[in-house]
Structure formats: structure tokens, C-alpha cells
Amino acid sequence: MGRPALRATALENVPELDRLVVLDTPAFGDGVIEAWISGAPSATASATARGFVGLAFRVRDEAQLEAIYLRPTNGRSDDQLRRNHAVQYISHPNYPWERLRAETPSRYETYVDLEPGRWTHMRIVVAGSKARLHVDGAEQPTLIVGDLKHGADAKGAVALWIGPGTLAHFSGVRITS
């Protein structure tokens, strides 16, 4: 895809909720995580696959994490409701996407222009209990999460996050604290 990258595939029908590639870095609390990412449904994915791909932070184990991820097939959908679900924040174990969407519609997800299989630059700025996502160099954030569910003092690993049925690529990952 024109740049050196890690290629990862997330199989469907695997019981884990999240598929993580945990990076060997110091514990991350506040700072900036940047990466070029690409996601698309894999060749064997179901019709509901969206190419889910993103970045997880403050990861304590596979069940305790916060993440912001993209749904590339939603970015240019003809269905406006689907378009509005192109970017998502989640916090496991207590705040999966289903709960956040049901209890606080539109607060933890939004639209951004995406295409499956295209490189997209993600920049997540984490400070205390707030995270801001900047996409493709935009000065203004695409998504602002003002109440990170693990709290202002949480720390943990950074990971590459992949959803079910996804073929993902990651390049140029940078973490600064």
C-alpha cells in the first residue's frame, strides 16, 4: 500500500471482543498517539463487517481498555445514520459501543470521511479524562471525549485495535508522553 506497514487480520467467530497488538512501550497515561491506519473487510468477512480499525490506550489487559476506532465502510455510505457511526470511542469492560450508543446516542461517535483500504492518519491527544481525535491532519478534532471512563489517572499499554472480519494495516506509529 505504498509504505512499510504491519498487516493484521482479525478473524470473525473468535470469542474475544477486541483483537489487540499490544506495543512494548512504557505505561501510557497522557500524551499523543499517532498512526497511519487502513482497514477494510477481509475477503471472508460477513456482510456486517465494516473494516473496524483503530488505536487502544490505557490497556491493562484484554478486557480493560479504552479505544477510538474507525468504521471505514461507513464513511461514504448512502445511509446517513451509518455515516454518523464512522468513528467510535469505547471503554471496556463497562462501556462497549452498544451501551454508549443506547444510553448516550451520538455522544461517543461521529462522522468523518473514510474509505475502506485507504491510509488514514489518526492522532489521539489524551490529557487527564479527555481525548481528542484528529483525522488526516485536521486542526480541529473529529471527536472529543470529555469523560474517559477509566478516569484521569489511568495508565496502561498502547495497542493496535482490530475488529472482527478486518484486514488492517498500521504504519508510522508514534507515541509521545
Q: What's 28's DSSP letter?
A: B
Residue 79 domain-assigned? yes
Predicted local distance difference test score (pLDDT) of residue 154: 97
Predicted local distance difference test score (pLDDT) of residue 14: 59
C-alpha distances out from residue 12 to 15, 118, 159, Å: 9, 22, 19
Residue 55 domain-assigned? yes
SS3 102: helix
Residue 1 domain-assigned? no
- Which neighbouring-strand residues pair with 21? 160
Say which CATH number the domain at 44 has: 2.60.120.560
Predicted local distance difference test score (pLDDT) of residue 12: 65
Residue 76 domain-assigned? yes
Predicted local distance difference test score (pLDDT) of residue 162: 93
Task: Show the domain range for 21.
Answer: 6-176
* Burial group, residue 80, by CB count within 10 angstroms (0-12, 13-18, 19+): exposed
Half-sphere exposure of 104 (CA within 13 A, CB side): 13
Structure-block grid coordinates of residue 84: 454518523
Which residues, given as ranges, of the chain have pLDDT below 50?
none
Question: How many folded domains does the chain comprise?
Answer: 1
Q: What dihedral angle (degrees, nearest 10) is formed by the CA atoms of 71, 36, 66, 16?
A: 60
Residue 40 domain-assigned? yes
Residue 74 domain-assigned? yes
35: closest CA among 164, 162, 166, 163? 162
Predicted local distance difference test score (pLDDT) of residue 46: 87
